[in-house]
Structure 1
Amino acid sequence: MVCSTFKILVSTGFLTLATAAIIRGNSQSLTAPVSDVRERIVRLIEEKKAPSLSLAVVRNGEIIWEEAFGLANLEKKLKATPETVFPIASATKPFTATALMILVERGLVDLGKPAHAYLRQAKLRAFEGDASEATVRRILHHTAGLPMYWNFYYAGTSRQRPPLETTLQRYGIIVSRPGESYNYSNLGYAVLESIIEQVTGKSYPEFLAAEVFKPLNLKHAAVCKALPEGLDVAEKYASTLAPIPFCDHDTRGASAIYATAHDLALFMLLHLGRLQPDQKAILKPESIIAMQKSRDSDVRNSSYALGWETGRRFGYPIVTHGGGMDGCRAHLAMIPSEGLAAAVLINGENVPSIQVCDWIFATLLPEYAKALNAGAGGRSGSSSPTAFKPPAEIVGTWQGAIRTHEGDIPVRLIVESDGRVEFFRMDPSGAPGKRLSPLKTPAVNQGIFIVHFPQVFSISDASAANHRTVLGLKIRENRLSGEANTIATDMSYSLPSYIEMKRVDGSPEKTGAPWSKRRPSGRARGSGSLGISTEGIK
């Protein structure tokens, strides 16, 4: 085997780039294909689209390419290297699922049992369906009926992370029947975090360190409660390249791991069934297969397995998970049929990490490249939003309550056949308060009515100066129910409550005032399952 290690210096008007690269195997056969990817990444750095990027590529059981580009810290001019540690955000979830499957193999956790069987004080509360049907397996699949949730606690602010049990007591609510639909939930992976702690008697960080990171030889990986010390850590940067402080989470099982691209490559070797000699097998092959193949048979159109997103991409079956928060993007992607995997870490917000994975796979798989290029050629520019055309079953007047952990809030919703939508918080006398109009065009997606309003209500946990209220309502017979999310304008949290409204009039109620055509635009950052901008919080 020929091994070459080299450094490349590229002078630009923005900064001096240093790329530290390691290429293993036949260096000549690999260097030529990846040169195009390298040039594209260098261009991203030059154009200030990414402060730094680190990657690692696996083929046939070996890490064949590792390289870091740009500056891990712009202010200190610290170069990124393959040893630079990045936050991986929601790419934490496959690690949590792996840890849980270790307990399944040891007979300590049964995927078919309700999560209640393993939780102590903080039990899940069902507003829809039966909490006993929120099994561990469904929580892994994101089909247990838990709501969308995130909460960031930034260093240097007065907000303090509460105990996980407090978070689950307040927001561990089932807002749709378990097994009814897919709804990506960070809260669910916090439940799994709690199960790991309850069953093992160890903290989640301790268990992962001892049972996942150490046996797989992930030397830099850690669940971080504070900024890692003694390591080369990438600073996080906003789209403007302003630095973003470290943040803790009350859902660490969903998004709290820091790691190098090399660590992620070694982790994917486990899930490709191709461990290196200095790694220990922590899961049986059948568990690894189950993590990639298992589905909730009651939920159609869901491609989320046990901690992994699965499907086909540009003609190949792919197993993947992305991660994104303010100031970072991460992606793990595997094509098991080809023995290929790529890990990409970025300490900025402007470049989709999966795009770089696509470039890597396209250099090594001609058919992938052909499909990728064909797909790129067929893309059209963004189209203007169309007017909302409500389905007949939601036209009318609806009245009910938002049920927060601090009390109920009576509300009324009016949907007219021409697409006009109005929302009211009712006063104590039962009269409607201020009329609220949508901030953006409402939508109906797979039977969920999604609508964004200015702030309707607040709770004591919502300490930001400004909020919006986002409703995700399942359309049922003469009833709308689901989640009402209090979302900070700065996107530092999304706090869910249950909402239920029943039809009170078959035709929309007229309130007398003319419909306003003014609809303030929300901050566009990608779409989540409720049409909420979640690009930075998954």
Structure 2
Amino acid sequence: MKWNGLNRPIEKWSTRVHQLLGLSVILLISGGCSNQSIDQGAPVDTFTQQLDTRVLSLMDSYDIPGTAIALVKNEDIIWSDAYGYADIEQQKKLTIDAVCRTESISKSVTAWGVMKLVERGLINLDDPVQQYLRSWSLPESEYNLNEVTIRRLLSNSAGLPLGSLGEEYSPNIQKPSLRQYLNKEVQLTYEPGSNFEYSNPGFNLLELLIQEVTGRDFNDYMVIEVLIPLGMHNSNFDWDEEFSSRVPMGYDLQGNPVPPYVYPYKASGGLFSTVEDIARFAIAGMAPGNKRQSKILSEDSIQTMHISQINVSGIFGFVADGYGFGHFIETLPDGKKAVWHGGQGHGWMTHFHVIPETGDGIVIFSNSQRSWPLIAHVLSDWSRWIGGTVKFSRITSLVVALWVATGIIFLIAFYVGGKVLRGVITDRRGLSMTLHPYSKNRILEFVLWAALSSVLLWSVAQDYLFISSIFPVGASWLGWGVLFLSFALLFSVIFPGYQRPNYAPKTFGSS
């Protein structure tokens, strides 16, 4: 008995699946490229009403519990609001005065503390950091330790790596000291000054620098010299028991709750703050003449922090041109400069973006690790409203591209799988557990299967995948697509087509 009778419905099913996937890709392209209509220069009330609708829609699409936003115009906070929940289980609403983990926005604030020491003549930017450290020394290295300067630490170009992630501690339990952390994490991995490498240990070494030079606790110094003078009265690098009722629950990529935590260091990611306090910080770095600048740093020092010290590449190069002192730098299409920084931690994402020349800025906080697309869409809307385009909004296009790639992977998987299934049913393919009969296509399929399987196994073994933050909804679909394709390729390899033209395989039921 032959199975040829099943071939027609299988072909029809395969065709429908291909059509459906093709339509999905078209819808994804059109949906990803379409933007809510934002009028340049519209009244604030009009834009914020549009923003309300936009944010709530994005939070629903990406399953984000809470978001807080503050808008700055003409060097003033003109609007702020909070959406969603600080704690889903307790149905506690997120509010503007919620104290949130700012994560790597801490680097931008720390840079101000370092520049304060420069202005006082206590340190020099181009001196080796080791010159100022009495109680701790850089580990021996094949590279010149004197090239690890304060300037390079501030600009993530000192030769230090990203560092370990996920070293989190409950606020009230004992944690390693800063020096213990530095002993484990500080190791030169490339020649200082040769390239950009985003580094948490580098900024935490600056934390020790501040303590050694001033003889004061890092948080005490930052609070008195930077935070309070800027009006950031709800900000602190230390855990405060008052935070217990004010810090929202964080939520990871899977939507699991993440209770408040602290790191064994502070300078690179330990700042707790409110969305309006970070807006005040953003205002302080704007055009000359605003009333907060003279209390902290000179105009020259602020401009120095906003000068690109080194070009950035990779994913950072996709959204910025260079890195200054604790700030990413980009040149906008109209020639103006934008400075910004974001933060990402376990259950948290934050971002501020400022155009110093115009006095425009925005701060976005979210208690979800799934928020990069939301941040990118909001930045896109904001930049369109003020009459420009910021590079971080490119992530919206990247998300669309990843969806398209996922659709193509599924299409290829269905095509290969359907071809193998039809071949087996029509007796044009048979089981072979060796690579004989040989063919270029079969060997290529085997190599692709091995490569995809290796990628999948590596991905499963990782605690965190960068692509999951950019593509929080579609990452699992992409994974399933790759898995489906790898199985389709495997079956194509072990069920090769018969290649001898005079060979007529037996069919089921024949004698």
Deviation of 1:240 (Å): 3.2
Alpha carbons 1:180, 1:298 under 8 Å: kept:
no
Q: Which amino acid aligns with 2:260?
A: F
Q: Mapping of 1:402-417 within 5 angstroms?
A: none
* Separation in structure 1 between the aligned mates of residue 264 and residue 370 of structure 2, nearest angstrom: 26
- Pair 375,154 (structure 1): closer, same or farther in 2 beyond 3 Å: closer
Mark the structure with the bigger radius of gyration.
2
Q: TM-score, normalised by structure 2?
A: 0.66
Per-residue displacement from partner, 1:32-80 (whole Å, max 9, x unpaired)?
A: 1222221011223444621111111111121111111111111222212
- Pair 367,156 (structure 1): closer, same or farther in 2 beyond 3 Å: closer
Which is strand-richer, 1 or 2?
A: 1
- Pair 157,217 (structure 1): closer, same or farther in 2 beyond 3 Å: closer
Alignment partner, residue 90 of structure 1? 104
2:324 equivalent to 1:305: yes
Alignment root-mean-square deviation, CA? 3.9
Alpha carbons 2:371, 2:469 under 8 Å: kept:
no
Alignment partner, residue 148 of structure 1? 162
Of the candidates 72, 75, 86, which is equivalent to residue 89 of structure 2? 75
2:341 equivalent to 1:342: no
* Separation in structure 2 between the aligned mates of residue 121 and residue 377 of structure 1, nearest angstrom: 46
2:385 equivalent to 1:364: yes
- Pair 226,245 (structure 1): closer, same or farther in 2 beyond 3 Å: farther
Q: Which amino acid aligns with 1:191?
A: L
Alignment partner, residue 188 of structure 1? 202
Alignment partner, residue 189 of structure 2? 175
Alpha carbons 1:222, 1:258 under 8 Å: kept:
yes
Q: Which amino acid aligns with 1:332?
A: F
Q: Which amino acid aligns with 2:50?
A: D
* Separation in structure 2 between the aligned mates of residue 243 and residue 150 of structure 1, nearest angstrom: 22
* Separation in structure 1 between the aligned mates of residue 398 and residue 207 of structure 2, nearest angstrom: 43
Deviation of 1:147 (Å): 1.5
Deviation of 1:278 (Å): 7.4
Deviation of 1:356 (Å): 4.8
Deviation of 1:101 (Å): 0.3
* Separation in structure 2 between the aligned mates of residue 202 and residue 115 of structure 1, nearest angstrom: 18
SS at match of 2:267: helix
Per-residue displacement from partner, 1:451-477 (whole Å, max 9, x unpaired)?
A: x979xxxxxxxxxxxx96xxxxxxxxx
SS at match of 1:165: helix
Of the candidates 136, 144, 160, which is equivalent to residue 122 of structure 1? 136
Of the candidates 369, 376, 379, which is equivalent to residue 355 of structure 1? 376
* Separation in structure 2 between the aligned mates of residue 30 and residue 280 of structure 1, nearest angstrom: 29
Deviation of 1:314 (Å): 6.1
Alpha carbons 2:252, 2:258 under 8 Å: kept:
yes
* Separation in structure 1 between the aligned mates of residue 280 and residue 381 of structure 2, nearest angstrom: 17
Alpha carbons 1:33, 1:363 under 8 Å: kept:
no
Identity over aligned residues, as a percent?
25
* Separation in structure 2 between the aligned mates of residue 350 and residue 225 of structure 1, nearest angstrom: 25
Q: Which amino acid aligns with 1:364?
A: W
2:217 equivalent to 1:199: no
Per-residue displacement from partner, 1:267-301 (whole Å, max 9, x unpaired)?
A: 01110046765786200000000000141499998
Q: Which amino acid aligns with 2:116?
A: I
Alpha carbons 2:170, 2:262 under 8 Å: kept:
no
Which is helix-richer, 1 or 2?
A: 2
Deviation of 1:246 (Å): 2.1
Q: Mapping of 1:81-480 within 5 angstroms?
A: 81-155=95-169, 161-225=175-239, 228-229=242-243, 232-273=246-287, 281-296=295-310, 303-312=322-331, 317-352=337-372, 354-368=375-389, 376=397, 380-381=401-402, 383=405
Alpha carbons 1:331, 1:344 under 8 Å: kept:
yes
* Separation in structure 1 between the aligned mates of residue 370 and residue 308 of structure 2, nearest angstrom: 33
Alignment partner, residue 46 of structure 2? 32
- Pair 79,151 (structure 1): closer, same or farther in 2 beyond 3 Å: same
SS at match of 1:319: strand
Deviation of 1:237 (Å): 1.1
Structure 1 segments of 4+ aligned residues over 6 angstroms from their partners = 297-302, 369-375
Alpha carbons 1:53, 1:346 under 8 Å: kept:
yes
* Separation in structure 2 between the aligned mates of residue 375 and residue 313 of structure 1, nearest angstrom: 17
Alpha carbons 2:99, 2:274 under 8 Å: kept:
yes
* Separation in structure 2 between the aligned mates of residue 269 and residue 289 of structure 1, nearest angstrom: 13
Deviation of 1:92 (Å): 0.5
Unpaired runs of 5+ in structure 1? Answer: 1-26, 387-417, 422-436, 443-451, 455-466, 469-488, 492-521, 528-538
Unpaired runs of 5+ in structure 2? Answer: 1-40, 410-443, 471-511
* Separation in structure 2 between the aligned mates of residue 47 and residue 377 of structure 1, nearest angstrom: 17
Count the aligned residue pairs. Answer: 384
* Separation in structure 1 between the aligned mates of residue 170 and residue 204 of structure 2, nearest angstrom: 24
Per-residue displacement from partner, 1:6-34 (whole Å, max 9, x unpaired)?
A: xxxxxxxxxxxxxxxxxxxxx99211122
Alpha carbons 1:154, 1:246 under 8 Å: kept:
no
Alignment partner, residue 479 of structure 2? none
Deviation of 1:170 (Å): 2.8
Alpha carbons 1:334, 1:342 under 8 Å: kept:
yes
- Pair 276,230 (structure 1): closer, same or farther in 2 beyond 3 Å: farther
Alpha carbons 1:34, 1:360 under 8 Å: kept:
no
Alpha carbons 2:168, 2:261 under 8 Å: kept:
yes
Q: Which amino acid aligns with 2:115?
A: M
* Separation in structure 1 between the aligned mates of residue 70 and residue 349 of structure 2, nearest angstrom: 15
Alignment partner, residue 41 of structure 1? 55
Deviation of 1:369 (Å): 9.2
* Separation in structure 2 between the aligned mates of residue 340 and residue 246 of structure 1, nearest angstrom: 31
Per-residue displacement from partner, 1:146-189 (whole Å, max 9, x unpaired)?
A: 12213444446999521111222233211111111111110000
Alpha carbons 1:138, 1:296 under 8 Å: kept:
no
Alignment partner, residue 66 of structure 1? 80
Deviation of 1:312 (Å): 3.1
SS at match of 1:272: coil
Which range is displaced more, 183-192 or 350-359?
350-359
* Separation in structure 1 between the aligned mates of residue 217 and residue 381 of structure 2, nearest angstrom: 37
* Separation in structure 1 between the aligned mates of residue 469 and residue 399 of structure 2, nearest angstrom: 21
- Pair 250,439 (structure 1): closer, same or farther in 2 beyond 3 Å: farther
- Pair 156,92 (structure 1): closer, same or farther in 2 beyond 3 Å: closer
Which range is displaced more, 292-301 or 32-41?
292-301
